[in-house]
Amino acid sequence: MLGSSLPRRTFLQTAAAAALAASPASALQGPSKPRRVGLIGTGWYGKIDLLRLIQVEPVEVVSLCDVDSVMLENAATLVASRQKSGKKPQLFHDYKDMLKQSGLDICLVAPPDHWHALAMIDAVKAGADVYVQKPISVDVTEGQAMLAAARKYKRVVQVGTQRRSTPHIVEAKEKFIDTGALGRIGHVDIHCYYKMRANDNPPDSAPPANLDYEMWTGPAPMRPFNALTHPRRWRAFMEYGNGIVGDMCIHMFDMTRWMMKLGWPTRISSEGGIIMGKASKANITDTQMCTFEYPDLNIVWNHRTWGDAGEPDPKHSWGATFYGEKGVLKVGVYAYDFIPNAKGAAPIHKDVTYEFEQYPEDKIEKDLETHVAPAVRHHMMDFLAAIDKRSNPVADIEQGYISTASCILANLALKTGRKFTWDATKQQVVGDPEANKLLTRAYRKGWTHPDPKTV
């Protein structure tokens, strides 16, 4: 795979994982009893992920952890109503206590982004296989440590970049890219035009009594509590994530890399800023372009959180467009469209698969993105199969690291105003000591940043 070299310290672990991945399918051994599952972070996508897992295998959810007591209790009631045993999971305020007591086979990690690294590393140390939400980290060094920990403790880690398991997107890859129907691809446009950035400016306030805000902040910089912080709107702040590039670009960038079998980009640049939403308390960009350069190919990301979300293509407001010598392929979360260049050739359209007949509960589940539910289910099935075979899943932690780090580097390129050349072997920006210092973000006093050499 192009440019997928790792630091020397993780080479042996990666080689071992590759050997495991080559194991024959006959080695597949399903569980003799229900797998014990725990969830860290019982918010929006934590519940979506967990309930999809329950749909595809009769696991036993034995523990849940959250620093919001109301959110935690509500999640426990919901899980008890959906899992086969009907039992209510044990509840924890501190995930370290959960990992010590629960004896988990699988741990789902879905707190805000600034907590992903510490929770995932501790989970693999505790012997659990892990499903971690994207982006895997808020800085590059965290991601290196997560990869090193997964390999050191020989755990299967699936990243929640479920475009790799979305049925209609898998079909598009197989029919139009794998077969060469597009011919040589010279450019890929990836984009999101959703109006998803917070535009309000609420006053700071005391956190609600049900939220341990000190623990919620954890290793991140401490900000005054604000209604944009919790629940669910924390992505308005760079202190807790990587903006819309880390939230939305990573999905389409990762999907493109997977579809085209690409590794690390060689050069990364970005421009943009807060152009229209200056009155908001949010400090993430509302307009940004990022260019990920590969030999003979550029992948260019654009997001704009203002104006008409339906422009330039109302069918693909969030997606990717592959420009090939034989045609164009548009891939989004709701559909794909193949437009061949050949005279008289008919375009081909395919809508998202919903699977309501098999899973009617999807129709009534609160806050579920029904078009994404099949993708998460298939992603969970791939994860379970990888656990049984002790192999790398389709969105293995190494792939999640490459995609996450590339997006972080794009944000750092915007911050510094420079184009970066990335050395995938040394895991450094070439000739830019200032940029390399930014690969590790300082943790708040009292918290220790993970070190890839000592995890």
What is the domain partition of the chain in residue ranges? 8-164+373-398, 165-200+229-363
Of the pLDDT bands very low, low, confident and very high (cuts 50, 70, 90), residue 30 is low
State the pLDDT at residue 79.
98
Q: Which residue has the tokens 């005279």?
A: 343
* Rounded Cα–Cα distance for residues 79 and 376 (Å): 17
State the pLDDT at residue 85.
96
Q: What is the pLDDT of residues 346-366, one digit of tens each?
A: 999 999 999 999 999 999 999
**Beta carbons of 318 and 333 less than 8 angstroms apart:** yes
Of the pLDDT bands very low, low, confident and very high (cuts 50, 70, 90), residue 309 is confident
State the pLDDT at residue 372.
97
The CATH H-level (homologous superfamily) assignment of domain 8-164+373-398 is NAD(P)-binding Rossmann-like Domain (3.40.50.720)
Q: Is the pLDDT of residue 432 over 90?
A: yes
Domain 8-164+373-398 shares a fold with domain 165-200+229-363? no
Give start and end residues of each alpha helix (H) in 83-115.
95-102
Average pLDDT, the chain: 93
For residue 157, count CB atoms less than 10 angstroms from its CB and return exposed for 0-12, middle for 13-18, buried for 19 or more: buried
**Beta carbons of 252 and 188 less than 8 angstroms apart:** no
Q: Is the pLDDT of residue 303 over 50?
A: yes
For residue 18, count CB atoms less than 10 angstroms from its CB and return exposed for 0-12, middle for 13-18, buried for 19 or more: exposed
Tell me the whole-structure pTM to 2 decimals. Answer: 0.92
State the pLDDT at residue 6.
43
Q: What is the pLDDT of residues 250-268, one digit of tens each?
A: 999 999 999 999 999 999 9
Of the pLDDT bands very low, low, confident and very high (cuts 50, 70, 90), residue 312 is confident
Of the pLDDT bands very low, low, confident and very high (cuts 50, 70, 90), residue 12 is very low
Task: Report which DSSP code applies to 360.
Answer: G
Q: What is the pLDDT of residues 223-249, one digit of tens each?
A: 999 999 999 999 999 999 999 999 999
Q: What is the pLDDT of residues 377-394, one digit of tens each?
A: 999 999 999 999 999 999
Largest Cα–Cα separation, the chain = 66
Q: Is the pLDDT of residue 11 over 90?
A: no
* Rounded Cα–Cα distance for residues 264 and 416 (Å): 20
Question: Does domain 165-200+229-363 sit in CATH 2.40.110.10?
Answer: no
Q: What is the mean pLDDT of residues 197-215?
A: 96
State the pLDDT at residue 248.
98
State the pLDDT at residue 5.
38
